[in-house]
Amino acid sequence: MPLTELTAYQLAQQIKTRKISCREVTNEFLSRIEEVEPRVKAFVTVLPDEARRRADLLDKRLAGGEDIGLLGGVPVAVKDLICTRGIRTTCSSKMLENFVPPYDAHVAERLAVEGAVNIGKANMDEFAMGSSTENSAFFPTRNPWNLNCVPGGSSGGSTAAVAAQEAPLALGSDTGGSIRQPAAYCGCVGLKPTYGLVSRYGLIAFASSLDQIGPIANDVRDSALLLQAIAGYDRRDSTSINRAVPDYLASLTGDVKGLRIGVPKEFFVQGVESYVVDAVRAAIDKLCELGAEAVEVSMPSAEYALATYYIIAPSEASSNLARYDGVQYGLRVAEPGDDIIAMYSKTRAAGFGHEVQHRIMIGTHALSSGFYDAYYLKAQKVRTLIRRDFEKAFSQCDVLATPTAPTVAFEIGSKTNDPFSMKLADVCTIPVNMAGLPAISLPCGFQNNLPIGLQLIGNLLDESTLFRAAHAYEQATEWHKQRAVVEKS
C-alpha cells in the first residue's frame, strides 16, 4: 500500500517503530503533490526543501533515541492564514502576497514540538471570506472528487489536500463553517473545536469572536490526534481557556450505548436537499442501532443565525482589516504627490478582492453612528438567544446531529453571481460558531459521486463525546474508507 494511503496515526506508529523513515514519508507526499497538484491546486506554497530538512532532522533525533512527538514525521498542510516564521503567509490575498511573518503562530509552534512536517501552505478564500475557495486572489482550488466542483471554503485548500492524498493532515480555520463545510464537500473529517480550546495567536483574524483553528483529516482518530497536538492554554491569546486537555484518543471506544442524540427540527428545513436529509437520518438511525437514543429538540432562534452572522462577522472584519493600510507591512499602492488618504484608498482597492471589500462595507455600515443599535447590538442579542437555545437542547441530549451542508459540492462558477445562494451553503454550520460550541463533520453518504456530510455538535469543551459518537458511527460504516481518484497531470 502506498504511504499516501495510510492514516496519520498509522504513519506516526510506523515511523516510531522505525519501519519507515520520516524522509520516505515526506518524499512520498511531495511526489503525490507533484503528480496531482496542477489539477487540484490545493497549495499556495509548497515547501519541498524545508520539509525534507525537517524530515532529516527528525530521523536523526529518532536514531538518537529521542521521542519525536505525537505527530513525529507526519506531513501537515497549513492553511495560509496561520503565521509561519520565515515562510510566506498570504491569506490568499494580494494585500499580503509577499508577507513573511517574523514569528510562528501558537499552532505552528505546537506542530513543531509534536514532530510534524509542514509540507505547504494551503489555498483559501481571501481572508477566509467565502464558502467555495473561488475567492482566492491567486486561483480556485478544485474538489478532488470532481474537478469541476468547488471544494468548499474557506479552508478548501486544506480539505482538498487531504482528500487528494497530498497530506494526511491539515489545519484549517472555522468562522462560520470553514472547516466543516469543505470537509463535507471533500469527504473528510473536519472539527471546529470549542472557542478558546486552540489558541488563535498568530491566526490572521477575520472575525475574532468567531474564528477557531481546527484539524482536518481522513478519519476521526487522526482528527483526535491532531487536536491533541494543538489544543491547550496560551497566555498570548486572551480568549484561550486555561484548562487541562483531555486524552481525546481514549474517547474512541466505539461505544455509544445510552448516548442521547438530539435532532433539531430547524436544521431539516426547506433548502436542505432531500438526499442530504435521507443520508443524515440514516446516520442517526445507525447510531441508534449502536445503542444511542434519538430525541427531537427545537431551536427556534437558529433560523436567524445566518442573518445575525452576516452582521457580526463583517463588523469584526471591518475592524480587523483596518490595519491593512499600506503603512507598516503588506501591499502599498501610491503615486508621487498622493496624500495619505489617497494612498489608503488605492492600496485597499488594489489589495482586497470584491468579497472582502463587500464585507468591509457591510461591517462599517453596521458599526456606524445611527446604525450600531439597529444592527450590531440587535445581532448580539439574537446571538444570546441562539446560545440559550443550544443550552436548552443540551439539557435534553448529549450530542446534536444535523446536516453539515444543505447540498453536495456545486460546480465552480455556478453561484458566483448568486451571493445569497452561496451564503446558504453555511446555513447549518453558522449557529455553532455563534455559540462557541465544538462540532465535527464526517462523511455519511454520496450523491452523484460527491460526499455528504453529517454534523455532530457537542456541548462546550465536550470534544471527547463528539469523538466518541463520530468514531462509533465511522467504524460501523464504510464511507470514510472511500477515496477520491485524481488523475495524474
Q: Report the C-alpha gap between 296 and 393 in whole angstroms.
A: 9
Query: What are the contacts of 345-350 at 24+ separation with CB within 8 A?
Result: 347/95, 348/95, 348/324, 350/94
Helix (H, G, I), strand (E, B) or coil at 482: coil
Catalytic residue, from 132, 154, 158, 199: name it.
Answer: 154
Please name the residue ranges forming H helices in 193-243.
220-230
CA distances (Å), 255 to each of 172, 252, 258, 463, 474, in order?
A: 29, 8, 9, 15, 12
Q: Report the C-alpha gap between 303 and 312 in whole angstroms.
A: 16
Backbone dihedral angles phi then psi of residue 357, each to the nearest 5 degrees: -60, -40
Order of strands across the sheet that contains 189-192: 43-46, 117-122, 75-79, 169-173, 213-217, 189-192, 439-447, 450-458, 399-403, 260-264, 293-297
CB 176 within 8 A of CB 422: no
Catalytic residue, from 21, 41, 79, 251: name it.
Answer: 79
Closest CA to 302 of 165, 403, 217: 403
79 given a catalytic annotation: yes
Catalytic residue, from 132, 155, 178, 199: name it.
Answer: 178
Q: Report the C-alpha gap between 471 and 9 in whole angstroms.
A: 14
154 given a catalytic annotation: yes
What torsion do the CA atoms of 382, 383, 388, 389 make, to the nearest 10 degrees? 80
421 given a catalytic annotation: no
Q: Report the C-alpha gap between 434 and 457 in whole angstroms.
A: 13
Closest CA to 12 of 166, 108, 115: 115
Q: What is the DSSP code (8-state) at residue 73? A: T
Grid coordinates in use for 365? 455600515
Which residues are marked as active site? 79, 154, 178
